[in-house]
Amino acid sequence: MILYGSSFSPFVRKVIAFAAERGVALENKAILLGDPDPAFRAASPLAKMPALVDGDFSIADSTAIVTYLDGVAPGAKLIPETPRERATVYWWDEFADTELFGVGRRMFFNRVVAPLFQRNPAIADAADADAAERDDLPRILAYLEDVVPEPGGWLVGSSLSLADIAVASPFVNFDHCASSPWADAYPRVAAWVRPILARPSFAGVVDSETRLLAKVRGRGAA
Ligand SMILES: N[C@@H](CCC(=O)N[C@@H](CS)C(=O)NCC(=O)O)C(=O)O
């Protein structure tokens, strides 16, 4: 299977980690935002990453992709079957894709993507990144601080699920670009999310992102 996208996108990283947890081998074809690659465009009608191609089947949207992977891969599922657990997993997935991503996008785009990857500081709105971190991130992290399980616990049920993977993924972007370490102010969130990001399914991809970012920062642009 081919996965189009850059792992710097929390949506793409979510799919990569999910596939690794489910033992699905993906060939990751790195693309840029709005990439003109015809194969990517054919798989992603809205030109958003990620998109997946599996033989003659293609599908875009991270949630649609992980739902497909969970269905086709043998072994224990990461999206539960029971109505309440399944609904709750999708609620967390939506929380990650909207609330966490919404704030993270303003920080990561303006501090990393525009100035460093796109070499276009003119479109980087530093004030908006600061406002997102100062005014909006605390509300979301304070909510999580109240509801995350004890370290070693899971957001839904008694084992790892899509919920944990989806909510953990945007934290990598916060780590890449937050001006003050969020973990100091939200210790329960940190104690829950750190072990998830240390799992092999996340660790490899996070490490390669961190190394690439250090290189790009070292030379001032991509
Ligand atoms: N709901 C989609 C969102 C995907 C998305 O917004 N991806 C961003 C990158 S983080 C993108 O490709 N944006 C390009 C654009 O909006 O043109 C998903 O879960 O995959």
Coil, strand, or helix at residue 160? coil
Asked if residue 222 has pLDDT above 80, the reply is no
Domain stop point among 16, 48, 72: 72
State which residues form the domain around 55: 2-72
Instruction: Look up tokens 């599908």; give the residue.
Output: 59
Are the C-beta atoms of residues 140 and 174 closer than 8 Å to each other?
Answer: no
Q: What is the CATH number of the domain that holds 88?
A: 1.20.1050.10
**Same domain membership, residue 142 and residue 48:** no
Question: Is any atom of ligand 1 closer than 6 Å to the C-beta of 1?
Answer: no
pLDDT one-digit tens code per residue, 72-109:
999 999 999 999 999 999 999 999 999 999 999 999 99
164 lines ligand 1 (CB under 6 A): no
> What average pLDDT is seen over the chain?
96
Among protein residues, the one whose CA lies closest to atom 13 of ligand 1 = 48
CA of 49 to the centre of ligand 1 (A): 5
Q: Return the pLDDT at 178.
A: 82
Q: Which two tokens stand for residue 193?
A: 């999310």
Task: Give the pLDDT confidence of 149-187 residue by residue, as tens digits.
Answer: 998 899 999 999 999 999 999 999 999 998 878 888 999
Say if 121 falls within a structural domain: yes
One domain, residues 51 and 153: no
**What separation in Å is there between the alpha carbon of 40 and the centre of ligand 1?**
13
Distance CA 91, CA 21 (A): 20
11 and 93 in a single domain? The answer is no
CB of 59 within 6 A of ligand 1: the answer is: no
Q: Does residue 62 sit in the same domain as residue 151?
A: no
Please give the residue that has the higher pLDDT: either 149 or 221. Answer: 149
39 found inside a domain: yes
One domain, residues 149 and 39: no
Nearest CA to ligand 1 atom 3: 61
Distance 152 CA to ligand 1 centre (A): 30
Q: pLDDT-derived band of residue 122, with 50, 70 and 90 as boundaries?
A: very high
Q: Span 19-34, mean pLDDT?
A: 96
Same domain, residue pair 181 and 155: yes
Distance CA 117, CA 114 (A): 6
pLDDT of residue 219: 80
204 and 96 both lie in a single domain:
yes
User: How much distance in Å is there from the Cα of 94 to the middle of ligand 1?
Assistant: 13
What number does the ligand 1 atom closest to the CA of 12 have?
20
Residue 6 sits at φ, ψ, to 5 deg, of -100, 135
Domain boundary residue, one of 29, 52, 72? 72
Whether residues 211 and 101 fall in one domain: yes
Q: What is the CATH number of the domain that holds 47?
A: 3.40.30.10
203 and 103 share one domain: yes
The count of domains in the chain is: 2
Q: pLDDT at position 181, please?
A: 80
Confidence of residue 128 (pLDDT cuts 50, 70, 90): very high
Ligand 1, atom nearest to 97 Cα: 19
What does the pLDDT look like over 33-82, one tens digit per residue?
A: 999 999 999 999 999 999 999 999 999 999 999 999 999 999 999 999 99
Ligand 1 contact via 4 beta carbon (within 6 Å): no
Do 128 and 204 reside in the same domain of the chain? yes
Alpha carbon nearest to ligand 1 atom 6, residue: 48
